Amino acid sequence: MDYATQMDAARKGIITNEMAAVAHKEHVEVSTLRDLVAAGKVVIPANKNHASLDPCGIGQGLKTKINVNLGVSNDCCDMEAELEKVRRAIELRADAIMDLSCYGKTAEFRRRLIDVSPAAVGTVPVYDAVNLFDKELEEISAEEFLAVVEQHAKDGVDFMTIHAGLNMEAAARFEKNKRLTNIVSRGGSLLYAWMKLNNRENPFYEYYDGLLDICRSYDVTLSLGDACRPGSLMDATDAAQVQELIVLGELTKAAWEKDVQVMIEGPGHMALNEILPNMLLEKKLCHGAPFYVLGPLVTDIAPGYDHITSAIGGAIAAAAGADFLCYVTPAEHLRLPTLDDMKEGIIASRIAAHAADIAKGIPGARMWDDAMSTARRNLDWERMFELAIDPEKARLYRVESQPEEKDTCTMCGKMCAVKNMNKIINGIII
């Protein structure tokens, strides 16, 4: 192989197999895609050791992608149940799967996930470090944190969330500007605690060059985590969040100097009117790197319905420039999601992503809607089910409530406007 990473290949004018596959799926010219990868505006997470990968592109001019979080925890440690979620997530067309396991046989679960997943696989190595080493958090060394990163890379992880932007300066900014919900990022809170306990710089910031060397060796895409993402509307777009974003922009340029692909993680909770400014701010400060958002959740009052609050924010964010949506399920803030919760979250995120793609004019996005509208005009129920984002649910609703006139539904029956207009236009008297 005469290139180190997808970015390195693109800068050398090489079109990789992964670029060709992505260009075909996205209906874009492969040379255009290659130039976007070279510029850091598109990433193709594709670890050299992920043999089962069907590569996808994330970034400018491409369809908005969605990510699914899963994994085992101390309270819910059924590995087979989580692997069933993996299989279901792939069936539901998730573009990426993040393994957030923090308990038990994390390495076994991660390797099994990578073996079966054609979707890109992401992890948060700091979780695994806390689980892996039989010692207190403050006793884990910087070298041990990096060793976990390298093990994940060897296993075939395509992208990793690393909270390298929470340096001492960003931590001081957080401390000077009090928040309602403090630091809600799990990884960010662990690193903040480690820094305070040891009175030392964030190891991923201090040894960032070593981290980049690992990423370059395996072509791991660096997902620069937002440790200071807002966990409430009150904390959105505050000094800590913006300070960290400035640091992430600097770290992005340093990664690109080593041909390491980068995407930026973003908020979080924020009011509707703050979403567009945040998207513009990220793209400006982080030099057009792809933006990966959790939500944003546009209100704090809907536990049990946060897949909806997230989908609202995600559609607006993606239409304004976000490239990658992390799904949120109805179980957010409440429990580990079930299979049904996961499905609800995936469908909500896919709807948000598709709605944004229509607004952005992504090639082919609108054709899906036009085909559905044609099927509705024709009262072609089978075609409607085929085109539905969730065919299973659409069919179930139809079966549960059968109309007297089979080509209508039980909402309107003989008064069906579509059926009657078809008759009138075709010269048939009602």
Give Cα 397 distance to the centre of its chain.
30
SS3 string of the chain? CCCCCHHHHHHCCCCCHHHHHHHHHHCCCHHHHHHHHHCCCEECCCCCCCCCCCCCCEECCCCCEEEEEECCCCCCCCHHHHHHHHHHHHHCCCCEEEECCCCCCHHHHHHHHHHHCCCEEEECHHHHHHHHCCCCHHHCCHHHHHHHHHHHHHHCCCEEEECCCCCHHHHHHHHHCCCCCCCCCHHHHHHHHHHHHHCCCCHHHHCHHHHHHHHHHHCCEEEECCCCCCCCHHHCCCHHHHHHHHHHHHHHHHHHHCCCCEEEEECCECCHHHHHHHHHHHHHHCCCCCEEEECCECCCCCCCCHHHHHHHHHHHHHHCCCCEEECCCCCCCCCCCCHHHHHHHHHHHHHHHHHHHHHHCCCCHHHHHHHHHHHHHCCCHHHHHHHCCCHHHHHHHHHHCCCCCCCCCCCCHHHCHHHHHHHHHCCCCC
The verdict on whether residue 163 carries a ligand-binding annotation is yes
The verdict on whether residue 265 carries a ligand-binding annotation is yes
The verdict on whether residue 69 carries a ligand-binding annotation is yes
The verdict on whether residue 412 carries a ligand-binding annotation is yes
The verdict on whether residue 354 carries a ligand-binding annotation is no
The verdict on whether residue 216 carries a ligand-binding annotation is no
The verdict on whether residue 218 carries a ligand-binding annotation is no
The verdict on whether residue 226 carries a ligand-binding annotation is yes
The verdict on whether residue 185 carries a ligand-binding annotation is yes
Report how far residue 119's alpha carbon sits from residue 196's, in angstroms, rounded to the nearest whole number.
37
Q: Which amino acid is residue 118, in one-letter code?
A: P
The verdict on whether residue 286 carries a ligand-binding annotation is no
The verdict on whether residue 187 carries a ligand-binding annotation is yes
CB atoms within 10 A of CB 25: 14
The verdict on whether residue 409 carries a ligand-binding annotation is yes
Residue positions forming the annotated binding site for [4Fe-4S] cluster = 409, 412, 416
Binding-site members are 69, 98, 127, 163, 185-187, 226-229, 265, 269, 292, 333, 409, 412, 416
Q: Which residues are annotated as a binding site for substrate?
A: 69, 98, 127, 163, 185-187, 226-229, 265, 292
| Residues tagged in the binding site annotation for Zn(2+) | 269, 333
